[in-house]
Amino acid sequence: MLLEKGTAAPDFELASTPDKNIKLSDLKGKRVVLAFYPADWSPVCGDQMALYNEMLSFFEKYNAQVIGISVDSKWSHKAYTENSNLHFPLLADFEPKGKISKLYKAYNEEQGRSKRALYVIDENGTIQWSYLSPDGENPGADGILEALEKLEND
């Protein structure tokens, strides 16, 4: 079970690059799409992070910042970001391993990595939507866009 709608999103601060951290509470005033995912270097063409990378203008339209989180290190994220030409932050839930994924009920203890879980958090830091996808299945972005649209109309 993921954290429910209406819950205050637990705050965290994680490394996004070797010399930069991102703190969730610093993003107040913006909507945040948190995408927990199992690992960098997925072998498929057009994987989940590559898809979101193509959608940055849509997220911007809804005043939303997309953020990926996995247990990979900041060095792996750096190489993966460069290799895939990504233009949004990937956070390293690396030490203590999986701490933030666990806070968000998005950690696979058996495999030792994040699950594929999506959260949409509103401008005030409250969780408004979540979705848990099977590990092997890219959830796409239709659910995220619907959730952002709903926030816009409420």
Partner 1 sequence: MAHLKPPVSERDQQTGNANAPVTLVEYGDYQCSHCAHAHPLLKQLVEEEGGELRFVFRNFPLSQSHPLATLAAQAAEAAGKQQKFWEMHDMIYEKLDGLSRDSFTAFAASLGLDLEKFDADLESDDIAAKVESDFESGIRSGVNGTPSFFINGERISSYDGSYESLQAAVAQAAQDGSRESV
Alpha-carbon span 31 to 14, nearest angstrom:
18
Calculate the alpha carbon distances from 79 to 14, 70, 113, 126 in Å: 17, 14, 19, 32
73 CB neighbour count, 10 Å cutoff: 16
Q: Which of residues 6-35 bind partner 1 (CB under 8 A)?
A: none
**26, 126, 140, 150: which one binds partner 1 (CB under 8 A):** 140
First-last CA distance in the chain = 26
Please tell me whether residue 139 binds partner 1 under the rule CB under 8 A: yes
Binding mask 67-86 for partner 1 (x = CB under 8 A): -----------------xxx
Catalytic residue of the set 19, 20, 45, 142: 45
Please tell me whether residue 53 binds partner 1 under the rule CB under 8 A: yes
Tokens 């819950």 belong to residue: 7
Cβ at position 137, least distance to partner 1 in Å: 8
Catalytic (active site) residue 70: no
54 CB neighbour count, 10 Å cutoff: 11
**67, 141, 148, 151: which one binds partner 1 (CB under 8 A):** 141
Please tell me whether residue 145 binds partner 1 under the rule CB under 8 A: yes
Please tell me whether residue 121 binds partner 1 under the rule CB under 8 A: no
The β-bridge relationship of strands 31-36 and 64-70 is parallel
Catalytically active residues are 45
